[in-house]
């Protein structure tokens, strides 16, 4: 007898349909698994055998053939255990084969028949909804899959509970979404901008960067507050929109980072250590998984001590900074991940950190500063809209009273500016959400002639490339939005130019 059930293979955050077919035939007893399966899938035979034995079900003395079709699509991961076991039970007539064909299943089996959570349940549920099928998965992952809403989800704690369900002995209830992690609850414990004393110029730059989605580089001595400022960037950003939350959740589901099946509406904040490899930052590895840049999609990627990252790792960020996506190419896989993140980078002016303080600088100054800052290439810096100095904080500022404004007030201005951008782009028929994402054509409207002339003059003075000139206009447009100004005036261009250092060396 032949039994079938659908499952999924993963190509980045995309789930591709795979049919698990099981046939019992006469011949010498054997259990063969075909269909371009990797080692983890091939080991499914033993886990399935042990799980069935724990239920008191022995394998028939027949030739068992399980095919994962299409045969030319690579199959990786342990989530094929459950569909293989269900297809085998259907072929053995221990479960109704006609009912199994209406479902898409995934999950890892324990030797006692329990079901362990699997990665990628959310994209698999989307595939099930597209095919008009129900979704079967481990109970621990069911609330995540139920977020799709367009398909019914059965979350089972064990293979036995599924068998009883399909045979009508005990019914499993359909899973419900795990709920969204409360933005207010998440924000309650987030660091506040009010805790930062002084550094008013850097605070202004951080607010402007948040308002338009611009990249920001902060250069200053140790202890100036660069990391402290960056940690408060997420508190200035508005919650994710529903479509953005789905995009982010798909990436995090593929990486197994959704906690308790909850979809967070808070924008991601990723801060990898400077020892991170290229695969860790942009994605890759044996399974071509998502990297930190993709995990920061629609959020913030913070690179502290930026020159300490390997140069080739930083250069790998140039493409996603421009296009908002990453293509991970391997011999057997070409996987595309979204990576529309906002880069916030921080660095010391030199290796010792005190280049601008003659009393504390090392004996190699200023040559040490030039060598250290040259670790950041021109093309990489050209993609950073705001490049600012964060000076050493006078100790007298620490005794000053707390600022009257904090993250809440700045976030309100950021949200208003973002709403202006969204409304303007909708009117222009542009899909972009932020000023940092649009082309030159979208910025031509409402630019005063004097502002346009000043932008060209500033670009020449700062020796900016054509890309740098465009980013200068984008930044000026954000400054205008923060002022709720419909027109882009020379004052906006002048302030935008003040945020762009002529060179990293100053």
230-247 pLDDT, tens digit per residue, is 999 999 999 999 889 999
State the residue range of the domain holding 476: 428-498
In a domain, 174, yes or no: no
* Domains of the chain: total: 3
Residue 190, pLDDT above cutoff 50: yes
Residue 281 lies in a domain: yes
b/e code 43-79 from CB counts within 10 Å (16+ = b): ebbebbbebbebbebebeebebbbbbeeeeeebbbbb
Q: What is the pTM of this model?
A: 0.89
Q: Which residue has tokens 């399909």?
A: 166
Judged by phi (left if over 0) then psi (alpha if -120 to 50, else beta), residue 448 lies in beta
| Residue 423 domain-assigned (yes or no) | no
Instruction: Mark which of 384, 410, 436 sits at the end of a domain.
Output: 410
Q: Distance (Å, rounded) from C-alpha 453 to C-alpha 457?
A: 6
Burial level of 395, CB count in 10 A (0-12/13-18/19+)? exposed
> What CATH number did the domain enclosing 187 receive?
3.40.50.300
Query: Do residues 362 and 317 both lie within one domain?
Result: yes
Residues 220 and 298 in one domain: yes
Is it the case that residue 20 has pLDDT exceeding 70? Answer: yes
Note whether 208 and 357 are same-domain residues. yes
Separation in Å, CA 71 to CA 65, 87, 90, 284, 423:
13, 17, 21, 24, 48
Instruction: Say which CATH number the domain at 63 has.
Output: 3.30.230.10
* 503 domain residue, yes or no: no
Residue 276 covered by a domain: yes
Size of the chain, expressed as the number of residues it contains: 506
Residue 136: per-residue pLDDT: 97
Of 267, 426, 231, 408, nearest to 340 by C-alpha is 267
Q: Would residue 94 count as lying in a domain?
A: yes
Verify that 26 and 79 share a domain, yes or no.
Answer: yes
Domain co-membership, 262 together with 380:
yes
Q: Could you tell me if residue 443 is inside a domain?
A: yes
Please tell me whether residues 228 and 270 are part of one structural domain. Answer: yes
**pLDDT 10s digits, 291-314:** 999 999 999 999 999 999 999 999
376 and 466 belong to one structural domain:
no
Q: What is the band of 504 on the pLDDT scale with cuts at 50, 70, 90?
A: very low
Measured CA to CA, the distance from residue 403 to residue 196 in angstroms comes to 8
CB 112 within 8 A of CB 160: no
Higher pLDDT, 325 or 190: 325
Tell me, yes or no, whether 225 and 328 share the same domain: yes
181: pLDDT strictly greater than 80: no
* Whether residue 292 sits in one domain with residue 251: yes
In whole angstroms, what is the distance from residue 145 CA to residue 128 CA?
10
Cα–Cα dist 367/351, whole Å: 11
Q: Which of 378, 410, 442 is the last residue of a domain?
A: 410
Mark whether 162 and 199 lie in a shared domain.
no
Are 239 and 380 within one domain? yes
**Helix, strand, or coil (residue 111):** coil
Would you say residue 423 has pLDDT above 90?
Answer: yes
| Predicted confidence band of residue 186 (pLDDT cuts 50, 70, 90) | low
Asked if residue 339 and residue 296 are part of one domain, the reply reads yes
Given 166, 198, 214, the domain boundary residue is: 166
CA distance 354 to 308: 16
In a domain, 173, yes or no: no
Of residues 365 and 499, more confidently modeled: 499
How many CA atoms are closer than 13 Å to the CA of 390, on its beta-carbon side?
Answer: 31
Question: What is the predicted pLDDT for the residue at 256?
Answer: 86
Tell me the three state secondary structure of residue 186.
Answer: helix
End-to-end CA distance of the chain: 76
Per residue in 331-359, pLDDT (tens digit) is: 667 889 999 999 999 999 998 888 888 87
Q: pLDDT class for 115, splitting at 50, 70, 90?
A: very high
């Amino acid at each position: 007898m032949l039994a079938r059930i659908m499952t999924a293979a993963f190509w980045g955050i995309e789930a591709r349909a795979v049919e698990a077919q099981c046939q019992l035939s006469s011949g010498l007893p054997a259990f063969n698994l075909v269909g371009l399966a990797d080692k983890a899938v091939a080991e499914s035979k033993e886990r399935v055998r042990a799980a069935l034995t724990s239920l008191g079900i022995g394998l028939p003395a027949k030739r068992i053939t399980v095919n994962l079709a299409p045969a030319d699509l690579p199959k990786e991961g342990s989530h094929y255990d459950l569909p293989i076991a269900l297809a085998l039970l259907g072929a053995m007539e221990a479960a109704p084969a006609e009912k199994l064909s209406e479902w898409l299943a995934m999950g890892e089996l324990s030797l006692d028949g329990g079901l362990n959570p699997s990665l990628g349940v959310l994209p698999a549920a989307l595939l099930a909804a597209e095919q008009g099928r129900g979704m079967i998965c481990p109970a621990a992952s069911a609330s995540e899959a139920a977020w799709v809403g367009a398909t019914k989800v059965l979350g089972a704690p064990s293979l036995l509970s599924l068998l009883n369900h399909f045979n009508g002995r005990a019914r499993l209830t359909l899973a419900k979404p795990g709920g969204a992690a409360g933005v207010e609850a998440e924000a309650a414990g987030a660091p506040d901008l009010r805790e930062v004393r002084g550094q008013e110029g850097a605070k202004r730059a951080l607010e402007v960067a948040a308002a338009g989605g611009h990249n920001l580089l902060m250069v200053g001595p140790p202890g100036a507050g660069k990391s402290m400022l960056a940690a408060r960037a997420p508190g200035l950003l508005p919650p994710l929109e529903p479509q953005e939350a789905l995009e982010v959740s798909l990436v995090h589901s593929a990486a197994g980072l959704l906690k308790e099946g909850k979809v967070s509406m808070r924008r991601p904040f990723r801060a990898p250590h400077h020892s991170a490899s290229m695969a860790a930052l942009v994605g890759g590895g044996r399974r071509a998984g998502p990297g930190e840049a993709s995990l920061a999609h629609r959020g913030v990627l913070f690179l502290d001590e930026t020159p300490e990252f390997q140069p080739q790792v930083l250069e790998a960020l140039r493409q996603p900074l421009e296009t908002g996506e990453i293509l991970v190419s391997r011999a057997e896989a070409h996987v595309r991940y979204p990576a529309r993140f906002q880069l916030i980078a921080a660095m010391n002016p030199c290796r010792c950190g005190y280049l601008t303080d003659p009393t504390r600088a090392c004996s190699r100054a200023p040559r040490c500063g030039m060598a250290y800052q040259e670790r950041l290439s021109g093309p990489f810096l050209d993609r950073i809209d705001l490049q600012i100095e964060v000076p050493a904080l006078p100790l007298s500022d620490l005794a000053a009273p707390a600022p009257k404004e904090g993250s809440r007030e700045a976030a309100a201005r950021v949200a208003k500016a973002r709403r202006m951008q969204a409304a303007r782009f909708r009117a222009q028929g542009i899909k972009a959400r932020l000023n940092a994402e649009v082309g030159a054509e979208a910025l031509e409207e409402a630019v005063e002639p004097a502002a346009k002339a000043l932008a060209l003059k500033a670009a020449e003075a700062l020796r900016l490339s054509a890309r740098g000139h465009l980013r200068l206009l984008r930044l000026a447009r954000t400054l205008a939005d923060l002022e709720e100004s419909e027109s882009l005036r020379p004052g906006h261009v002048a302030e935008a130019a003040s945020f762009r250092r002529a060179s990293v060396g100053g």
